Structures are given as structure tokens and as C-alpha cells.
Amino acid sequence: KNQVEQSPQSLIILEGKNCTLQCNYTVSPFSNLRWYKQDTGRGPVSLTIMTFSENTKSNGRYTATLDADTKQSSLHITASQLSDSASYICVVSATGGSYIPTFGRGTSLIVHP
């Protein structure tokens, strides 16, 4: 069964600090992996997408990495801001067949001033 596991479940950091969120998956055959940011009461917004051949993808202060061999991804947030407080969701899609992506449960990040 395709699964996406994220850790930690929640994280509290001080403004200006860096943090790294983890995503492990068992989706096969792998097509791509996305990271979404979901603000409270809003829909998810895509941050990055990576395919099998991509190791790193950046979007401003967000940098995602992918190790397709170990089936792990991370999202690194640099110099955190209060506006980074949100849930970060890892989504993995398989190739072929119906397009039914597998969503992780998300990591809830709180940035304190």
C-alpha cells in the first residue's frame, strides 16, 4: 500500500531560526513528490515539485531535497518568519493508472517571535 509518513508531527521554533521537515514514502512506481504549504483555514499551495532525477529544488527560503534511492525527502526552511507558521504537506504520486496522489498527514510548524 502506498504510504507517506512525515515527521515531526509538530514543531515550534523561534523566528529567524532554520528548520528541516522530513518525508518518507513507499509509493511505487515513483513519479514525483510535492511539498505544499497550508495556512490555517486555507487550501494547500504548492511550494516545490521534484521528479526522480532531481535532488534539490528551491523556492525562496524553502529548499526541498529528494533521495529516490532511500525514498526520503526533506524541506528546509531558512531564516524562518512568522508567516511560515502553517502545515507542510508532502504528496507523492505514482506513474501510470489513475491519478490518485498519496498525501502525508503534514507537519504543523509554529514560528514564535
Partner 1 sequence: NAGVTQTPKFQVLKTGQSMTLQCAQDMNHEYMSWYRQDPGMGLRLIHYSVGAGITDQGEVPNGYNVSRSTTEDFPLRLLSAAPSQTSVYFCASSLSSGSSYEQYFGPGTRLTVT
Residues near partner 1, by CB under 8 A: 4, 31-32, 34, 41-46, 49, 51, 89, 93, 98-106
C-alpha dist (Å) from residue 93 to 13, 26, 28, 63? 30, 10, 8, 20
Query: Least CB distance from residue 113 to partner 1, whole Å?
Result: 27
Q: Could you give the CA distance from residue 36 to residue 8 in angstroms, rounded to a whole number? A: 16
Nearer Cβ to partner 1 (42/61) = 42
Nearer Cβ to partner 1 (99/113) = 99
Query: Least CB distance from residue 83 to partner 1, whole Å?
Result: 18
